[in-house]
Homo-oligomer: A and B are copies of this chain.
Amino acid sequence: MVTLRDVARAAGVSPATASRALGNPDVVAAGTRERVLRTARELGYRANQAARALATGDSGMIGLVVPDIESPFFASIAKGVDARARELGSSVLIADTQEDAELEAEVAGRVQERVEGVILCSPRMGTADLGGLADLGPTVLINRESSDLPSVSFETPTGVRAALAHLRSLGHRVIAYVGGPHSAWADAERRSALHAVPGLRIVDLGHHRPVHDSGAAAVDTVMACGASAVLCYNDLVAVGLVRSLQSRGIRVPEDISVVGFDDIALATLTAPALTTVRLPWAAAGRVAVDLLLGAGEDAGEDAGEPAAGRAPRRVRLGVELVVRESTGVGPERAVPPLPEA
C-alpha cells in the first residue's frame, strides 16, 4: 500500500505538505501542489479513510437503519438519503433490521459506532427504547416522532382529510378505514384525522398487517359494513382489496371506491390505477440527512442531542392526494364539494 509518506518522499516534500496539497489545495504553493498531485496520481495513492477518520474525528459516513429495504418506501428513502449524502460528501452505511424490534436497537447501536449519526426509519421499537438512542449519537427519525429526537414525518392528517373530502365530494357518505398495525405510529397519525371531515360516517375496520393479503382478507368486512368507499392504510393493502373485490365481481370504482396511501410504483400499474395519498419518501430522506448533518441548522446544536430545554427539530413534509381511477361517484352523486380546508 502506498501511503502519504511515500507520496511526500517521492515529491520531495514533508508529509504535512503532501496532506495539505491533497486536502487543502489552496494553502500550498501552486508548483508544490501540482508536483504532489502528480506523484500521488503516478503512485496510485489512495487515502486511508480509517486513518483520516481517526485523525479528524469524522468518519464521513452516516447510518441508515430500515426495517426492510425491499419495501418500496424504504428503498425510496434510501435513494434520497444516498443522493443527499453524496452531495454532502458523505457515504451511507445501511442496515436492514428485518422488521425486528430487538435487532433494531442492537443494529442502531452497532451502526452508530462507525458513523457521524444515524437516520432511523419507521422504528418498530417501543417509545422507551427510542429515547435511549439519543445518547448513542446523533439520531434522526423518519416517519415517527419522539419527544427526544429530531424527526421528519409527513402531514398525514392533511392527506387523510384530502382523501375524505375527495370521497365526500364524489357523493360518498359512509367510508370504511382499513387500518395498519396496531403498533404503527403512522396508523395512529392517520386515525387522528379520520373524523376531520363533517358529514361522513367512518367505519373503523380495525388493524391489519400492511401487506397485500390483508386487503384481500378484509374484503368481507368491507362489503358487510355498508360503506361505499374505503380508505386503506397503504397502497399494498388497497391493491389487495381491489383485487379481491374484483374477483368477487365487484367493480372498482363503479361499485365501490378505494383510496390508498404512500403512492408506491405499484399504484400506477394496477387496473384501475389507484387513487392514493402520495408521501414524499425520497424528499424525507434528503431532509433527514440535512437535519443530521446540521446543514441549515439554526445554531450549534447536535441532532439527537438537543440543547437542554430545547425541543428537537421536527419537520413535517406535505402530502398530496393523487386522484386516479379507483375512486368514482358514490350513492349521493349531486353534492358539491366541501370548501377546501
- Within the complex, what minimum Cβ distance (angstroms) separates A269 from chain B? 6
Contacts A50-B53, A93-B61, A110-B91 given; does A79 touch B83 at CB 8 Å: no
A82–B61 CB distance below 8 A: no
Stretch of A67-75, A138-146, A183-191, A195-203 contacting B (4+ beta carbons < 8 Å): A67-75
Contacts A54-B54, A113-B46, A212-B269 given; does A94 touch B96 at CB 8 Å: no
Q: Which residues of B contact A86 (CB under 8 A)?
A: 95, 107
Q: How many copies does the complex hold?
A: 2
A20 within 8 Å of B (CB atoms): no
A28 within 8 Å of B (CB atoms): no
A149 CA to B24 CA in the complex, in Å? 36
- Within the complex, what minimum Cβ distance (angstroms) separates A73 from chain B? 10
Contacts A47-B113, A75-B69 given; does A92 touch B91 at CB 8 Å: no
A313 within 8 Å of B (CB atoms): no
Q: Which residues of B contact A91 (CB under 8 A)?
A: 93, 95, 110-111, 114
Could you mark each residue 32-53 of chain A with 1 if its beta carbon is under 8 Å from any beta carbon of chain B, else 0? 0000000000001011111101
A51 closest partner in B (C-beta): B54
User: Which one of B70, B92, B111, B136 contacts A75 once the chains associate, using CB atoms below 8 Å?
Assistant: B70
B70–A83 CB distance below 8 A: no
A56 closest partner in B (C-beta): B50
The A239-274 residues at the B interface (CB cut-off 8 A) are 239, 243, 246, 265-266, 269-271
A82–B59 CB distance below 8 A: no
A169 within 8 Å of B (CB atoms): no
A152 within 8 Å of B (CB atoms): no
A70 CA to B79 CA in the complex, in Å? 7
A222 CA to B212 CA in the complex, in Å? 31
B61–A54 CB distance below 8 A: no
Total A residues in contact with B, Cβ cutoff 8 Å? 48
Q: Which residues of B contact A266 (CB under 8 A)?
A: 266, 269
- Within the complex, what minimum Cβ distance (angstroms) separates A95 from chain B? 7
Q: Which residues of B contact A68 (CB under 8 A)?
A: 79
A63 closest partner in B (C-beta): B91
A78 within 8 Å of B (CB atoms): yes
A107 closest partner in B (C-beta): B86
User: Which one of B48, B82, B113 contacts A96 once the chains associate, using CB atoms below 8 Å?
Assistant: B82
Q: Which residues of B contact A136 (CB under 8 A)?
A: 46
A71 CA to B57 CA in the complex, in Å? 35
A59 CA to B212 CA in the complex, in Å? 40
- Within the complex, what minimum Cβ distance (angstroms) separates A239 from chain B? 6
Other CB < 8 Å A-B pairs besides A82-B95, A270-B270, 13 of them? A48-B54, A49-B113, A50-B54, A50-B59, A53-B53, A69-B82, A82-B96, A83-B98, A91-B110, A91-B111, A93-B94, A243-B269, A271-B271
24 contacts between A and B (CB under 8 A): A46-B112, A46-B113, A48-B54, A48-B113, A49-B113, A50-B53, A50-B54, A54-B54, A64-B94, A69-B79, A69-B82, A70-B72, A75-B75, A82-B94, A82-B95, A82-B96, A83-B96, A83-B98, A91-B93, A91-B111, A91-B114, A93-B94, A243-B269, A243-B271
Q: Which 3 A-B pairs have the closest CB atoms?
A: A50-B53, A94-B94, A50-B54
